[in-house]
Amino acid sequence: MKFFRSLCCSGLPAFVFLISLLAFIGATSSSSAFAQAESQAKWPWMNPSLSADERAAQVVKEMTIEEKISLLHGTGMVGLSPMSPLAVRSNGGAGYVVGVPRLGIPDLNMADSAYGVRASGENGKYATALPSNVGAAASWDVKAAFEYGALIGREIKAQGYNMSIGGGVNLAREPRNGRTFEYMGEDPVLAGTMIAGLIRGVQAQHVMGDIKHYAMNDQESGRNAVNVHIDERSMRESDLLAFEIGVRNGNPSGVMCSYNRVNGDYACENKYLLTDVLKKDWKFKGFVLSDWQGTHSTVKASAAGLDHEEPGEIFYGAALKEAVQSGRVPMAEVDDHVRRIVRSLFANGVIDDPPQKSVVDVMGGFEVSRTIEEHSIVLLKNQAGQLPLDAGRVHSIAVIGPHADVGMISGGGSAQVDPPGGNAIMPPGKGQTIWNTEIWFPTSPLKTVRAKAAGAKVEFNSGADAAAAAALAKASDVAIVYAYQWESEGMDLDSLSLPLHQDELIAAVAAANPHTIVVLETGGPVTMPWAEKVSGILEAWYGGSQGAEAVANVLFGEVNPSGKLPLTFPMSDADLPHREIVKPPDASTTHGEPDDYKKIAAGLPAFQTTYDEGVKVGYKWYDAEKKAVLFPFGYGLSYTSYKYSGLTVTPAAAGAKTQVHFTVTNTGSRAGIETAEVYAALPAAAAEPPKRLVGFSRVGLNPGESKDVTVEVDPVYLSIFNVKQNGWQLLAGEYGFMVGGSSQNLPITQSVRLQ
């Protein structure tokens, strides 16, 4: 509109302007129609009215073996593989694949993008940081997951990429996993549903999306060597169920197979995972790409179902060509790999609507990031209505905690998004993002609290000296401690305790001031020996570009918290299924030497970890073992209160969805959003843990308002996996349905017979 006004009012008579404009529009649209017709005449697969399968079949038929092979591998990454000279044409992302311009097939430019586009700074670009993925899962809001993915898709595309390689959904079976922040929590139904929403959001922008790391990559320690032992039924009902839901409901273009071995074979050459389960049982139509340096063979991997090697061409370049020519890999197998890639490009509109580099909408990104964070923050404790703070009545506030004056922490590794202006804790101009270094986003808790409580004296103490922090707390009406635990790819946490003596700091502050509120910036659960002593606790996860603003909006009541924990907070490390993470016998085998990648490619000696807790991940473990927890899965408080009533369960005919109806009422005096959670206890013959999440619904309610809710339960969520029949089986018997606001607060129950 601005463009129109400035032209039209620059002295050009309006009618001349209009006629020129119409002529211009006519000319451009007819010339683009002409170009389209010309390209369709030359390349019939450019006709968008054909199906993606048809288009892919046509183009694959035209390709030479060299062109096919070129689509089946990347062009290298320093330190992980030799570099191809063609890599200079890359857009700067983690993966660059040379397309087939002769046939109109574009290069693939892949960017890491777990909570935003990675390494944008390195390429002179900008990206929004969203809240960490586990934080987004805490919203239990599928629409928010879609918006999360849509923002990533838009920014990926604006930067000139056509594939996002985010989409982490490994279950938090081991919450000390250093990538817990990048995943979607401990429950397969919640995690799978949320990741599917995210992938749909990415792909709606006409870029390809991905789900990863398939599968059982539940620890970082020794990830290139570890062999995970787990029984098939447990695996299908836990970690693989999250992927199954993500693949079926999200339709990702890519599935990234993981570094580790599963029951003997590397995940990227594991026929059970890639062919039997993913491609046959789940009917996955996209392509499998290896994690970066996760390919270990040519013939075995290709036969097992690996379609594409990243980042280089150690196994899927000349070696694959030779294997085809010598008859060790059938051409039909290669054609299937290629077809899956080309099909995904067509199916997601990448070819019909290719990326045009453009400016990222910074302010729009802030808005999305802040809103999602506001829905993701979980209020864990609010003694005597300490929160929300009344800005008009608080005269002095102590803001305490490492770097709480300048920023909030973010998750590290290949998920890392660069902060605008550089790392908030570095001197100005020295803000380069460095691998395995804490990166703080310039979203300042101190400034946002000052802005909210304009009339109060708001002072800062870093907490480095606990006594000084306690003295400031003592002299203030309220103390807010921002505590953090950093996580990153490539490492696991030694324990769930807060590092850097922050437990002692919080205890000292709480002893000095009974109005102490703790804001946690963590990637997953932490232990809280001080929980009884403080009056308020908020879990803010890694809050993204606008974390401090979102936290302040919750602290001061502009936003009523509605997040619920996507994973259990146990009492102590000793309550976890495993006392310690099994570490590789020689942790140094793969670090430092320039050609270490050769050792990894050849396969490092395996060491074993056994997931004998099986299906009992997260709350299923604590329930079955009757262990008390600090804060249960699904838990989260609000500034209002809710009541549940009137449960009726209508069993469905075989194969259809069971309907669970109930009413939720807002019994407090503030508007709020409640996530209603539906759990089921299976018949005893199923030999399952006491309950499992089978559905949920977010309900917005004004004070005093009631709403009738229906949750439809997929029969798979009520089934066991029958290994002999290789399928889901709904056992006949009594099912207990339980509904409420957390896995340990389920006030309405009904038992029904199914089948």
Contact 563, 377 (CB under 8 A): yes
Q: Is there binding between residue 112 and ligand BGC (CB under 6 A)?
A: yes
Task: Give me the least distance between CB of 289 and ligand BGC, in Å please.
Answer: 9
Q: Within 676-715, which residues bind ligand BGC (CB under 6 A)?
A: none
Strands 396-400 and 457-461, by their bridges, are: parallel
Ramachandran angles phi, psi of 479, nearest 5°? -115, 130
Q: Within 210-249, which residues bind ligand BGC (CB under 6 A)?
A: 212
Task: Give me the least distance between CB of 418 and ligand BGC, in Å please.
Answer: 14
Task: Give me the least distance between CB of 657 and ligand BGC, in Å please.
Answer: 34
Task: Give me the least distance between CB of 263 and ligand BGC, in Å please.
Answer: 21
Contact 312, 73 (CB under 8 A): yes
Q: Within 186-215, which residues bind ligand BGC (CB under 6 A)?
A: 212
**Residue 336, token pair as written in the block:** 């299937």
The residue assigned the tokens 């990153």 is: 488
In the bound state with ligand BGC, the residue whose beta carbon lies nearer, of 211 and 274, is 211
CB atoms within 10 A of CB 176: 23
The residue within the footprint of ligand BGC, chosen from 165, 387, 537, 565 (CB under 6 A), is 165
> Could you tell me how many residues make up the chain?
755
Task: Give me the least distance between CB of 292 and ligand BGC, in Å please.
Answer: 4
Ramachandran angles phi, psi of 254, nearest 5°? -120, 145
In the bound state with ligand BGC, the residue whose beta carbon lies nearer, of 110 and 754, is 110
Count of residues of this chain found to bind ligand BGC when the rule CB under 6 A is applied: 7
Nearest Cα neighbor of 122 from 434, 497, 567, 446 is 434
Q: Is there binding between residue 292 and ligand BGC (CB under 6 A)?
A: yes
The residue within the footprint of ligand BGC, chosen from 155, 186, 291, 307 (CB under 6 A), is 291
Strand partners, 645: 663
In the bound state with ligand BGC, the residue whose beta carbon lies nearer, of 182 and 265, is 182
Task: Give me the least distance between CB of 291 and ligand BGC, in Å please.
Answer: 5
Q: Which of 218, 291, 307, 623 is catalytic?
A: 291
In the bound state with ligand BGC, the residue whose beta carbon lies nearer, of 292 and 721, is 292
In the bound state with ligand BGC, the residue whose beta carbon lies nearer, of 310 and 374, is 310
Task: Give me the least distance between CB of 652 and ligand BGC, in Å please.
Answer: 39
Task: Give me the least distance between CB of 247 and ligand BGC, in Å please.
Answer: 17
For residue 291, indicate whether it is catalytic: yes
User: Could you say which DSSP state residue 537 is in?
Assistant: E
**Residue 389, token pair as written in the block:** 């703070």
CA dihedral sign, ordered 509, 510, 516, 521 = positive
The residue within the footprint of ligand BGC, chosen from 94, 347, 559, 680 (CB under 6 A), is 94
In the bound state with ligand BGC, the residue whose beta carbon lies nearer, of 217 and 666, is 217
Give CA 12 to chain center in angstroms.
Answer: 52
Give CA 28 to chain center in angstroms.
Answer: 41
Q: What share of the chain is helix, strand, coil (3-state, %, to 5)?
A: 35, 20, 45
Q: Within 332-391, which residues bind ligand BGC (CB under 6 A)?
A: none
Q: Is there binding between residue 155 and ligand BGC (CB under 6 A)?
A: no
Q: Is there binding between residue 526 and ligand BGC (CB under 6 A)?
A: no
Task: Give me the least distance between CB of 723 and ligand BGC, in Å please.
Answer: 30
Contact 500, 521 (CB under 8 A): no
- Beta-carbon contacts of 358 under 8 Å, excluding residues fewer than 6 positions away, are 158
- Beta-carbon contacts of 23 under 8 Å, excluding residues fewer than 6 positions away, are none
- Beta-carbon contacts of 2 under 8 Å, excluding residues fewer than 6 positions away, are none
Torsion, Cα 353 358 361 365, to 10 degrees, reads: 60
Q: Is there binding between residue 145 and ligand BGC (CB under 6 A)?
A: no
The residue within the footprint of ligand BGC, chosen from 109, 139, 414, 443 (CB under 6 A), is 414
In the bound state with ligand BGC, the residue whose beta carbon lies nearer, of 220 and 613, is 220
In the bound state with ligand BGC, the residue whose beta carbon lies nearer, of 147 and 291, is 291
User: Could you say which DSSP state residue 188 is in?
Assistant: H
Can you give 348-407 as a three-state secondary structure string?
CCCCCCCCCCCCCCHHHHHHHHHHHHHHHCEEEEEHHHCCCCCCCCCCEEEEECCCCCCC
In the bound state with ligand BGC, the residue whose beta carbon lies nearer, of 273 and 509, is 273
- Beta-carbon contacts of 500 under 8 Å, excluding residues fewer than 6 positions away, are 402
In the complex, the residues that contact ligand BGC under the rule CB under 6 A are 94, 112, 165, 212, 291-292, 414
Residues catalogued as catalytic: 291
